[in-house]
């Protein structure tokens, strides 16, 4: 089936900047990557796996990704509340992009000890 295109307002229309604007927030790529690699996840589970992100920022990021139709939120049970975050088709289709970022990062970046 056809994928629903994500809308994109104004800008000087350019597929690259538009994409950058979608996944350009600090934690977006990792969140998407974790969901690609490990499938649907709950909030805290995701938080721990990512490491270093605060509840607030994770929450905001998830909201943002959802707004952009890259992610779905599904309430699994109530009491205790359980939620699953999973990628939409559009979200999953980002895999090549994320994968290239991963590959590039691995071979071109080096952790600095000088901190």
Residue closer to DNA by CB (options 3, 59) is 59
Both structure tokens of 68: 């952009």
Using CB under 7 A, pick the residue from 6, 18, 25, 50 that binds DNA: 25
Spatial contact of 40 and 92, defined as CB atoms under 8 Å apart: no
Using CB under 7 A, pick the residue from 14, 26, 37, 39 that binds DNA: 26
Under rule CB under 8 A, residue 24 binds its own copies: yes
Under rule CB under 8 A, residue 1 binds its own copies: no
51 binds, among its own copies, DNA, none (CB under 5 to 8 A by kind): its own copies
Both structure tokens of 65: 């990704």
Judged by CB under 8 A, the stretch of 7-15, 40-48, 59-67, 72-80 that binds its own copies is 7-15
DSSP for 31-90 reads HHHHHHHH-SB-HHHHHHHH-S--HHHHHHHHHHHHHTTSEEEEEEETTTTEEEEEE-HH
């Amino acid at each position: 089936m056809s994928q629903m295109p994500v809308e994109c307002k104004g800008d000087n229309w350019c597929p690259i900047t538009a994409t950058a604007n979608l996944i350009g927030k600090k934690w977006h790529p990792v969140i998407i990557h974790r969901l690609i690699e490990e499938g649907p996840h709950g909030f805290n589970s995701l938080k721990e796996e990512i490491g270093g992100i605060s509840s607030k920022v994770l929450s905001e990021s998830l909201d943002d990704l959802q707004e952009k139709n890259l992610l779905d939120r599904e309430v699994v049970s109530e009491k205790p509340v359980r939620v699953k975050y999973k990628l939409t088709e559009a979200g999953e289709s980002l895999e090549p992009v994320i994968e290239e970022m991963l590959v590039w990062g691995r071979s071109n970046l080096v952790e600095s000890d000088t901190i």
